[in-house]
Amino acid sequence: MAVDGHSATYLQLNWNPPAVSHPEDIIRYRLYYKKISSNQTTFSTVETDVTTLKLRRLSPNTQYFIFATAILIKNGTKIESSPSETLFSWTDPAFPAYVEAPTIHPINMVTEGSTMTVLCIAMGTPLPTVTLYLNGHPLRSEVTRHMVTMIHNVTRDMGQVACYADNGYGTPMQVTRSITISRKPTVTILNGMPTNLNNNGAPTFKTVKAVIGDIAYVKCKVDAFPAPTVAIFRDRGLKQSVQSEGRYTITASGDEEDSALFYITLKIDNVAEDDAREFYCHANNTLGDNSVGVKLDITDVPKPVIDMRSCCSSQNVSTACLSICSFSLDLDVLALQPNCLPELGLMMNCASDGSDHRHCCSEAGVPKTCLGWCRGEQVKVDTEQEVCAIEQSSSILGCFHQGQTNLPSPPQNVRVRPVDKNSAKVFWDIPKKNPNSVELYRVFLRPTATKNTRKFDTVQRHLLLEGLTSGITYELAVKAGNSKGTSQLTTTLKFVTGDEFIIATSPQVQSNAGGAVGIVMAVLVVVAMVIFVVYIMKRNNMLVLSAKKPVSPSVSFENPFYGVRDQTSTSPIPEEYNVHISSSRSWQNEMSQVPDSGCSSNPSSSGQSSPDTPQKKSSNLSSSATEEANPTEKSIGSSFFNKINLNRDNGFKQFQ
């Protein structure tokens, strides 16, 4: 009997068969073994049909007592021979598993999509079990000291390769190596919203939104190895690169933990409208290149929220109903406070924000009987109108919200300047809300307390009123509009033309008391001088006075319009005259009605002219425009105009 091999947990034994035996005998062998160092009195046994055996699961660094016997099986009877010679053998001492760092081939560069070979070398007694891990996932295990594994179709995610060894003794050991898979660049836009998607649903184009005057950022991430060259371009052909200059600043950096990640950022200070364009983040290295586009969308500064509560307070809405006036009308609160329905017209006026929304309401399906709520004007609330307000509230408020961005408010600061006794010029300023949306201005004119209403269209902010009758009081209102609707009418302006001057009212009357006093004093001085001269000439018989009846009345400083407040009745115009100036239809439909030719604006700007306007009226328009451009140059008429006590009312309340 001899020991052929050994380790810490097994002994490999072999022996010779019996020297005397019949060739046809069936012989088995029984092996006896036990630890010598223990007090064990019985032997462990194991049988085999061959003359070799490996005793397993032995204790490390232990001496064993071993012998064998032969067993003859004859006629079903077992006959055991005498014991063989005795063998004493030691198992090896145990050593914990030890593993080296994985060896990866090729050593210098593992390219994405290629094949790499990983070698794990382990030591320890007994023989350890070696396992290969890839990114934390076990890939292969084997009891060996050397394990070679080939990995095909390598991906960029295979960045962690580990070899693990364990033999049951001591602490298992694992060694990990980080590798960077070489690959061509992949560019990703870090900010913005996806706008274009490919067939797989992945975004191919993003949009970054910014507000005029703010700071905009375009942030790109690049995944590539070896390190790429990165840049930002203005065009798809990558010809116009963006440089760090002026309002543009470009910064680039690498990731502190991942050597394959890089970042590039474009910062745009004080964003302007011309910055709205497409930018392209581009990266390239020795394995390829890639670029991704991003669109910079520039928007105006958001419109301020309507101060509904302040407006409702100014409209004398009761304190108990002010809770309905939030940022918009709160219909839920209104439903809980039905006693506030009589004041709904005042609240609607605030919610309309100075615009006439009847065109939008008509397109939204609001019945004609309910369109009065869309005007933003006071509506006589009865049972039918209350039903309208409740049933159509969603559509009406939807139009109010839509009109906040696309409808103008009424023009501001309407004023009249004299030209002569039969003509005058009206001026106004741009609307406060959405002034850029105005496509046309419409002027309404009529003599007071009459139904003869004329209207005139212009794209300019002034209009020459011609064919006026001296001494007649006129009412005038202006509104702005576009293809989506119109504003409400301005507050009515009343004026009277005279032989020398004009009496008018305007939204804003600026006091010029100092100038008026100066003029009065100058007139008194002149009158005193004239009286003195006449007295001297009469005393010296140099002047003969005579009386002569005038042929026709003359206009002098005793003009009856001086200092007289206009007392014209302000009764509203009947509703049947609203049809020609209604904004419930589109602005184009209103435009289809031919404006009156009795007034004209600048032909070069309004696109309309009066066929019967004499050539001399152009000179009047020119002189009036000069007067508007040079307000410091005051004529006699404008001086008297500043002295007049002006009056204003709401004569066009229903004239809309």
Give me the torsion for CA of 643, 649, 654, 656, rounded to 10°: 30
Both 478 and 615 in one domain: the answer is: yes
**399 or 530, greater pLDDT:** 399
Mark whether 157 and 235 lie in a shared domain.
Answer: no
Residues 508 and 570 in one domain: yes
pLDDT tens per residue, range 446-457: 998 888 888 899
Q: What distance in Å separates the CA atoms of residue 29 and residue 501, rounded to the nearest whole number?
A: 143
pLDDT surpassing 80 at residue 38: no
Residue 237's Cα: distance from chain center in Å? 28
pLDDT level of residue 430 (50, 70, 90 thresholds): very high
Residue 605: is its pLDDT beyond 50?
A: no
**pLDDT surpassing 80 at residue 615:** no
Once rounded to an integer, what is the mean pLDDT over residues 151-168? Answer: 93
Give the least confident one: 195-209, 325-339, 535-549. Answer: 535-549
pLDDT at residue 340, as a whole number: 83
Average pLDDT over residues 288-294: 92
d(CA 317, CA 330) in angstroms, rounded, equals 14
Domain boundary among 267, 299, 331: 299
Q: Has residue 317 got a pLDDT over 70?
A: yes
Whether residue 174 is predicted with pLDDT greater than 90 in this model: the reply is: yes
Domain span at residue 83 reads: 2-90
Asked if the model's pLDDT at residue 285 lies above 90, the reply is yes
Provide DSSP, 46-113: EEESSSEEEE-SPPTT-EEEEEEEEEEEETTEEEE------EEEEPPPPEEEEEPPPEEESSS--BTT
Is 607 a member of any domain?
yes
Structure-block tokens of residue 472? 């007649």
pLDDT of residue 629: 37
User: 60-64, 203-207, 540-544: which range is least confident on average?
Assistant: 540-544
Angle subtended by helix axes 344-352 and 383-391, to nearest 10: 40
Per-residue tokens: 24: 């046809």
Task: Say if residue 339 is in the same domain as residue 454.
Answer: no
For residues 131-156, average pLDDT: 94
Based on the domain organization, do 258 and 324 belong to the same domain?
A: no
Q: Which residue has the higher pLDDT, 239 or 205?
A: 239
CA angle 636, 641, 647 (to 5 degrees): 170
Average the pLDDT over each of 271-275, 347-351, 537-541, 611-615 and give the range with the smallest value: 611-615
Q: How far apart are CA 232 and CA 189, in angstroms?
A: 12
Q: Is residue 269 part of a domain?
A: yes
On whether both 205 and 252 belong to a single domain, the answer is: yes
Q: What pLDDT is recorded for position 383?
A: 66
Residue 608 has pLDDT above 50, yes or no: no
- Work out the pLDDT band at 263, boundaries 50, 70, 90: very high
333 neighbors 361 (Cβ within 8 angstroms):
no
Its sign, for the CA torsion 414, 415, 419, 422, is positive
Q: Per the domain annotation, does 317 fall within a domain? A: yes
CATH number at residue 278: 2.60.40.10
As a whole number, the mean pLDDT across the chain is 77
**Region for residue 246 given its phi and psi (left: phi exceeds 0; alpha: psi -120 to 50; beta: otherwise):** left
Residue 516 has pLDDT above 80, yes or no: no
Query: Average pLDDT for residues 87-96, to the nearest whole number?
Result: 91
| Portion of the chain with pLDDT greater than 70, in percent | 73
> Cα(622)–Cα(7) distance, rounded to whole angstroms?
118
- pLDDT reading at 513 higher than 60: no
Tell whether 507 and 629 lie within a shared domain.
Answer: yes
Reply yes or no on whether the pLDDT at 181 is more than 60.
Answer: yes
More confident residue, 597 or 296: 296
254's tokens: 């690498």
> According to the model, what pLDDT value does residue 585 have?
41
Assess whether pLDDT exceeds 80 at residue 196: no
Per-residue model confidence (pLDDT) at position 637: 38
Residue 134 pLDDT grade (very low, low, confident, very high; cuts 50, 70, 90): very high
pLDDT of res. 225: 93
Nearest to 463 by CA among 648, 605, 338, 283: 605
* 620 within 8 A of 464, measured Cβ to Cβ: yes
Lowest mean per-residue pLDDT among 51-60, 435-444, 502-511:
502-511
Q: Do 481 and 572 fall into the same domain?
A: yes
Query: Would you say residue 396 lies in a domain?
Result: yes
Lowest mean pLDDT among 194-198, 225-229, 538-542: 538-542
Is 70 exceeded by the pLDDT of residue 511? no
pLDDT: which is higher, 78 or 647: 78
Segment 144-167 shows an average pLDDT of: 94
Residue 286 shares a structural domain with residue 216:
yes
pLDDT computed for residue 575 by the predictor: 36
Please tell me the predicted confidence (pLDDT) of residue 462.
Answer: 93
CB-neighbour burial class of residue 388 (10 A; exposed 0-12, middle 13-18, buried 19+): buried
State how many domains the chain has: 5
Same domain, 343 and 462: no
Name the more confident of 72 and 607.
Answer: 72
Spatial separation of the C-alpha atoms in residues 167 and 170, rounded to whole Å: 8
**What CA–CA distance (Å, rounded) separates 215 from 266?**
10
Mean pLDDT of 285-306: 83
Domain's final residue, options 74, 90, 106: 90
What mean pLDDT is predicted for residues 102-115? 92
**pLDDT level of residue 310 (50, 70, 90 thresholds):** confident
Same domain, 333 and 380: yes
Q: Which of 68, 90, 112 is the last residue of a domain?
A: 90
Say whether both 162 and 215 belong to one domain. no
Query: Exposed, middle or buried, 612 (CB in 10 Å: 0-12/13-18/19+)?
Result: exposed
* DSSP symbols for 511-551: --HHHHHHHHHHHHHHHHHHHHHHHHHHHTT---------S
Q: Is residue 233 part of a domain?
A: yes
Task: For residue 482, tell me if it sits in a domain.
Answer: yes
pLDDT beyond 90 at 48: yes
Is there a domain that residue 536 lies in? no
Instruction: Please check whether residue 525 lies inside any domain of the structure.
Output: no
